[in-house]
């Protein structure tokens, strides 16, 4: 039987951010309505190589689509000329279990993660938000900003990173797709003076202090996606309304995992899952003074809905290679 093989150039040719945003919003809504089978992602830790490997299966019951992503996170890869995150996604027939497509999941991961931040800002940020602060300027930061530009009118982007060349590259690339002012700041504290703060670092020591945050800020906390990772000072969690993508998954690998393990907060301090807000099960922002946090660990259903669009459009356009597996 034939399996459709889609490399990264194929994937890039059939999806854009508006398509991904729409798909991911649908995925969150279905998740919020409890119509998704999605066990927490499983990890293999390669301590001596400073990396890990994750598997992420999901099944959307009403859409009748299923698949699994296999993805790594190796922060030292940049020094080797390799992406920090690399992934493969397999889509399967729910009728027979047979693989339908094998595709690059690296670009899908970048796009769906950015889209999750866009969906979160759409439902949680103040409607008059105009200034974005970026802590970290890697690949994840690029798709985060791209998605935010689709859901808010950005006037200024404040950026800070440890490597000046990375800041320069980020600004040069993003000016081509986001029409606004870019301002480089010496300190993270200055970046925190914003409406929507985005953190995309793989750090295990907090870099955002509670005292730097003003009322009404929305935070997309993206970088913490494994046990022990933390970008926000734990006390931030005590003053903010916390929305996670998935409570079970975030509890062991999201921004909340460290303050939970230290007893600084409890699971009852987590206000909602984003899907519940998108589905209207719970309200999002309750006032303009709220500090809201979206703790993103990355859900398998985000990959599934995005990969399904890639597969559907590729079949329609005759893109990819058919390969015999059995």
Known binding residues for NAD(+) are: 112, 139-140, 223-225, 229, 296
63 among known catalytic residues? no
Long-range Cβ contacts of 28-31 (<8 Å, 24+ apart) = 28/116, 28/119, 28/245, 28/274, 28/275, 28/278, 28/279, 28/299, 28/301, 28/302, 29/275, 29/278, 29/279, 30/60, 30/62, 30/63, 30/275, 30/301, 31/246, 31/273, 31/275, 31/299, 31/301
Does residue 314 contact residue 6 with C-beta atoms inside 8 Å?
yes
- State residue 232 phi and psi, 5-degree precision: -105, 135
204 in helix, strand or coil?
coil
Q: How many angstroms separate the CA atoms of 252 and 183, rounded?
A: 35
Residue 159 φ/ψ, nearest 5 degrees: -130, 150
Query: How would you class 47 by CB atoms within 10 Å of its CB: exposed for 0-12, middle for 13-18, buried for 19 or more?
Result: exposed
Residues 221, 85: Cα–Cα separation, whole Å: 17
Q: Which residues pair with 243 in a beta bridge?
A: 272, 294
Structure tokens at 180: 């606004």
Active-site position among 35, 48, 69, 176:
69
CA 29 – CA 51 distance, rounded (Å): 32
Give the catalytic positions in this structure.
Answer: 69
């Amino acid at each position: 039987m034939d399996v459709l093989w889609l490399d990264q150039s194929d994937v890039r040719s059939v999806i854009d951010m508006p398509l991904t945003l729409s798909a991911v919003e649908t995925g969150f809504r279905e998740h919020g309505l409890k119509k998704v089978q999605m066990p927490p992602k499983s990890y293999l830790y390669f301590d001596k190589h400073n990396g890990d490997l994750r598997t992420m299966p999901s099944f959307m019951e009403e859409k009748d689509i299923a698949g699994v992503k296999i993805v790594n996170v190796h922060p030292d890869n940049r020094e080797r000329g390799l992406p920090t995150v690399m992934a493969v996604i397999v889509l399967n027939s729910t009728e027979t279990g047979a693989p339908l497509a094998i595709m690059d999941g690296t670009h899908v991961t970048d796009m769906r993660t950015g889209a999750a931040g866009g969906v979160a800002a759409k439902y949680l940020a103040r409607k008059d938000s105009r200034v974005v602060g970026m802590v970290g300027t890697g690949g994840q930061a690029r798709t985060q900003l791209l998605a935010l530009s689709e859901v808010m009118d950005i006037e200024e982007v404040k950026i800070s990173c440890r490597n000046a060349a990375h800041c320069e590259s980020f600004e040069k690339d993003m000016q081509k797709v986001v029409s606004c002012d870019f301002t480089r700041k010496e300190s993270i504290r200055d970046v925190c003076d914003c409406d929507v703060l985005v953190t995309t670092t793989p750090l295990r020591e907090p870099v955002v202090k509670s005292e730097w945050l003003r009322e009404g800020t929305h935070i997309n906390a993206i970088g913490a996606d494994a046990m022990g990772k933390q970008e926000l000072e734990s006390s931030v969690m005590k003053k903010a309304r916390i929305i996670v993508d998935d409570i079970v998954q975030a509890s062991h690998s999201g921004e909340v995992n460290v303050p939970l393990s230290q007893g600084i907060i409890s699971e009852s301090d987590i206000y909602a899952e984003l899907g519940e807000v998108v589905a209207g099960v719970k309200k999002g922002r309750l006032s303009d003074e709220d500090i809201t946090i979206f703790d993103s660990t990355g859900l398998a259903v985000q990959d599934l809905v995005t990969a399904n669009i890639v597969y559907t459009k590729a079949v329609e356009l005759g893109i990819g290679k058919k390969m015999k597996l059995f």
